[in-house]
Structure 1
Amino acid sequence: MEAESSRNPCPATDFNALPENCIANMLSLASAPDTCRLSSLASTFRSAAESDTVWERFLPSDYQDIIARASDSSPPVFTSKKDLYLSLSDHPLTVDGGTKSFSLDKWSGKKCFMLAARSLTIVYGDTPMYWRWISLPESRFAEVAELVDVCWLEIRGRISTRMISPDTNYAAYLVFKWTKRVYGFQSQPVEGWVGLRGSEEELRSFYLDPNGGQGRRTHILPRRRGRMGIFNRTLAKMQRPQVAMPSESSDQCPKERGDGWLEMELGDYLYKSGEDGELEICLQEVKGGNWKSGLILQGIEIRPKNSK
């Protein structure tokens, strides 16, 4: 017996003997996915892992205020804090009159937002010959923006840093689709930028075209009507020599999302606690002058980088 005792100086812990509130405190220090896994260890863990006390700590401190801003006439009702957490992880909630959606990163509990196309600043966005607004059943917002034809592509979005989670490295993603009539993106890189409004821009260059710009490098200039068309064609010819190709390290390309849309990372920013201001996101192609068409924009999503 003494030999056996010396081989096992720390006897196995009987988790069922621990008070449930003690286990709840232990679980609240883990992540939400770890809590779900730990609940299989013992019956006491299963009970504690369902408690509102545990899941309340995984939710952001202002979650009630955000839910109160839901676009529906009556905010959703959940039977438990766990159900609320899992629902917000899998089903984004539209807020602020349908101009944004709110969700949680399932693995970290950090806040995620998507800015609807209507809440973005789109150059020529209110000119029907350049952009038009349509509804798609697969979009989480009432309207999306379809690019008809532009040679100057510029889209900007802003969100207050008070709305996102502190001490988190956020990335911004353009969420979009292509129409059958798409052209102009295979021949010219676009530029993206994410940072505090007013700070120095650090542009990154990439192709929205899924072939990474390896397609035919031709400038398609459809016939234009009126004086504006003549001006824009002239502008395109003047600006064509200014095309800036991406660096060799720029190997990004759009990726398909689980919801069927495509996304392209525009940049990232490490938001530190107490750093007040507005996070600004920009996408632009204003150097090549070639005409572009066929992009359907749902919005810009801001979420923790490298989230699973």
Structure 2
Amino acid sequence: MLSGELADNQGSLSSSAKNYYEQGKLDELVFGGIKEQIMPQSLSTFADIAYKCLHQDRHQRPTAGEVVTQLQEAQEFQWLPRDYKEIIQQSRTPEIYKTQKKMDLYDMLREGILIQKGKVWFSLDNNNKRNEMISATLFTYQNQSSQKWRNNRKSRFQRVSLMMDISNLMIQAKIKAQFLTPSVTYGVYLVFKFVEPTKISSKPKYVNLKYKMGNETLHAYFATWRKDKWMMIELYRFLSNKDGVDFEVLLESFSKCYCGNGRIYVEGIEFRAIDNVTHEEIEKSKDAQQIMRSNSNIDLMQQFPADKDEILGVTENSDEAPKPSEMNGKKHHMLSAKEVLYDSSNVKLFKLKPSEQSRFGEVIEVLSQQVFRIKCKIESQILSPDTDYRCYLIFKLSEKCRGLHCPVKVRSVHRPVKVEGQLHQSRKETKDLYFRTPKEWNIHDINQVPKQREDGWMEVNVWKFNSKDQLRNDFIHLNLKLISYEGTMSGLIVCGLEFRPM
């Protein structure tokens, strides 16, 4: 096309494209599936150079170098947001979009710029999704005696809010994000940091932020560290639309127990796009919050080992025995609450109750305490050898339960074990679980959330292990502490502990 004879026969595609271009209707030739993704400037730049390439006189056609330059510019336009001029016009240097190269503008937006008189930080993430952070200077502070303004060189904004009393924040935010990417799931995050030096960790920090949205009191339990050494905690999650989003929240307090009397800097509230991987996790978490069929309700007889009666301890209620899903020949077992709750006969800590709904005929209610233990042992031949198992606590919540809306720590307390004659110190692990289904923004990496079973009970995965581990004297030992983060727990009604192969 650049140097040869132009194939421009009547009815050819090139002739049709020229006609559409001359009539200003070239966009009608763009496939509908990609039209929304194409920047208008990118299409017009591409169309202009393509039209010149169709000139009858080859001497009037652009050189290869000119074509490459224009195609590069069209591609650079494609990287930029459609409304990049409007966004940059709200910055402190709106004239730069006329002088800067498009690639430089794109890099600048990736780094982030201040807009709206320095009150909003706008940036593009790695997937070209738009993020906005609203400065804390736009919030209202009801507890003004404990709030001061400070300059912070490590902040995106000129000033941040210093909160002297984190147990009585009373920060009101009524804000609007205007430039978010439509049809994208966003998380709303409070961005803050402790004034006193805090050890940075890859693990989330429990802070228990209490806040209100409308008439609903909510809790966000875990904060995480960012690469910029600020912390963030998610408050809400939503699917964006083309009209922007109004957000209103009253931040009340952090946990004094875990955050002490420390002061914090509040930088702002960020609307951050959640990437595809995390979005899949969101969908999984939504599924987890729905009533789900437990694996223990599918007929097991086709796949169960020959010694099933001995393993299950078949009784008059044998037709109510646990019936997990396809086991592929792997053994399955369940213990009663009396067998698994440590010191279960202590009437100050536990209450034994008859129950027709339990396959064991009785259940145990956990009375007010901060820590209770699961401690039991199983004969090794009852479980399949060298098999990964999950332990599910089967439970219900009484109407008067207390302290079970928060996450609960689960900590292993196993003694050293011998492996091939050598004594090995068991690794002490701590995980978190929920007895109530949490808001999706409180799940993080926690996959130990409760599920509804068809038999009317709830179940939650409290631990996993391999049947060759914790093996002493032909017994597999399980020793766990369940610890409330704050206050005491009560009203947990335990049916038993179920061991299912993974």
Relative distance call for 1:153 and 1:307 in structure 2 (3 A) is: farther
1:123 aligns with 2:142: yes
Q: Is the 8 A contact 2:160 2:265 kept in 1?
A: yes
Name the counterpart of 1:96. 116
Distance in 1 of aligned mates of 2:229 and 2:197:
19
Letter in 1 for 2:176: S
After the TM superposition, which residues 12-51 of structure 1 pair with which residues of structure 2 at under 5 Å, given as runs? 51=72
Q: Distance in 1 between matches of 2:179 and 2:81?
A: 10
Indicate conservation of the 8 Å contact 2:208/2:255, yes or no.
Answer: no
Q: Helix, strand or coil for the counterpart of 1:258? A: coil
Corresponding position of 1:168: 184
Assess if the C-alpha contact under 8 Å between 1:193 and 1:266 holds in 2. Answer: no
Aligned partners of 1:266 and 1:283 also within 8 Å: no
- Give the TM-score normalised by the residue count of structure 2: 0.36
1:291 to 1:103, Cα distance in 2 relative to 1, 3 A: same
| Cα distance, 1:69–1:280 mapped onto 2, change above 3 Å | same
Q: How many angstroms apart in 2 are the aligned matches of 1:144 and 1:269? A: 26
- 1:113 positional shift: 0.9
Shift of 1:73: 7.9
Tell me the residue number matched to 1:22. none
Counterpart code for 1:280 = E
Instruction: Rate the CA distance shift 1:146–1:51 in 2: closer, same or farther, 3 A.
Output: same
Aligned pairs, number: 215
Aligned to 1:62: 83
Amino acid at match of 1:205: H
**Higher normalized strand content (fraction of residues):** 2
Change beyond 3 A, Cα 1:133–1:162: closer
Letter paired with 1:120: F
Taking only aligned residues, the RMSD between alpha carbons, in angstroms, comes to 4.1
Q: Alpha-carbon deviations, 1:164-194, whole Å to 9, x = none?
A: 2221211111111112299xxx997323567
1:49 and 1:173 map into 2 onto residues whose CA distance is 41
Aligned equivalents of 1:82 and 1:119: distance in 2?
32
Task: Decide which of 257, 268, 281 is 2:226's aligned counterpart.
Answer: 257
The equivalent of 1:112 in structure 2 is 131
Opposite residue 229 of structure 2, the aligned amino acid is G
Unaligned runs of 5+ in 1: 1-24, 32-42, 195-199, 208-252
**Structure 2 match to 1:206:** 220
* Per-residue CA distance 1:181-218 (angstroms, 9 max, x = gap): 99xxx997323567xxxxx66654233xxxxxxxxxxx
The answer to whether the 8 A contact 1:147-1:293 is kept is: no
The one of 271, 281, 296 aligned to 1:302: 271
SS class of match (1:163): coil
- Aligned partner of 1:149 in structure 2 is 165
Identity of aligned residues (%): 24
Q: 1:141 is paired with a residue of what secondary structure?
A: coil
- Deviation, 1:137, is 0.9
Give the counterpart letter for 2:182 in structure 1.
P
Q: How much has 1:284 moved relative to structure 2?
A: 2.7
The structure whose RCO (Cα within 8 Å, separation 6+) is larger is 1
The one-character-per-residue Cα deviations of 1:102-161 (angstroms, maximum 9, x if unpaired) are 111221x2221111110122322xx3x301111011111111111112643233334435
Per the alignment, residue 151 of structure 2 pairs with 135
Contact 1:175 1:298 in 2 (8 A): yes
Q: Please say if residues 113 and 123 of structure 2, whose CA atoms lie closer than 8 Å, have aligned partners that are also in contact.
A: yes
Distance in 2, matches of 1:76 and 1:64, equals 7
> 78, 83, 87: which one pairs with 2:108?
87
Distance 2:180 2:171 in 1: 21
Hey, what's the Cα distance between the residues in 1 that align with 2:264 and 2:92? 27
Shift of 1:80: 2.6
Unaligned runs of 5+ in 2: 1-29, 39-63, 199-204, 278-502
| Whole-angstrom distance in 2 between the partners of 1:81 and 1:94 | 18
Select which of 215, 227, 239 maps to 1:270. 239
Alpha-carbon separation, structure 1, partners of 2:90 and 2:210: 33
Alignment-mate amino acid for residue 254 of structure 1: A
CA-to-aligned-CA distance 1:191-247 (integer Å, 9 cap, x gap): 3567xxxxx66654233xxxxxxxxxxxxxxxxxxxxxxxxxxxxxxxxxxxxxxxx
Deviation at 1:281, TM superposition (A): 4.4
Shift of 1:259: 1.5
Contact 2:183 2:239 in 1 (8 A): yes
Q: In 2 relative to 1, CA 84–187 (structure 1 residues): closer, same or farther, beyond 3 Å?
A: closer
For residues 99 and 229 of structure 2, what CA distance do their matches in structure 1 show? 27
- 1:285 maps to 253
Query: Residues 207 and 254 of structure 2 are in contact (CA less than 8 Å); yes or no, is this contact kept in structure 1?
Result: no
| Cα distance, 1:192–1:58 mapped onto 2, change above 3 Å | farther
Q: Could you report, residue by residue, the CA deviation over 1:10-38 in whole angstroms, capped at 9, with x for unpaired residues?
A: xxxxxxxxxxxxxxx9999989xxxxxxx
Confirm or deny: 8 A CA contact 2:189 2:235 kept in the other structure. yes
With over 3 angstroms needed to count, the CA separation of the structure-2 counterparts of 1:130 and 1:50, relative to structure 1, is: farther
Letter of the 1:115 counterpart: I
Q: Flag the 1:57–1:281 CA change in 2: closer, same or farther, 3 A.
A: farther
Paired residues of 2:211 and 2:252 also in contact (CA < 8 A)? yes
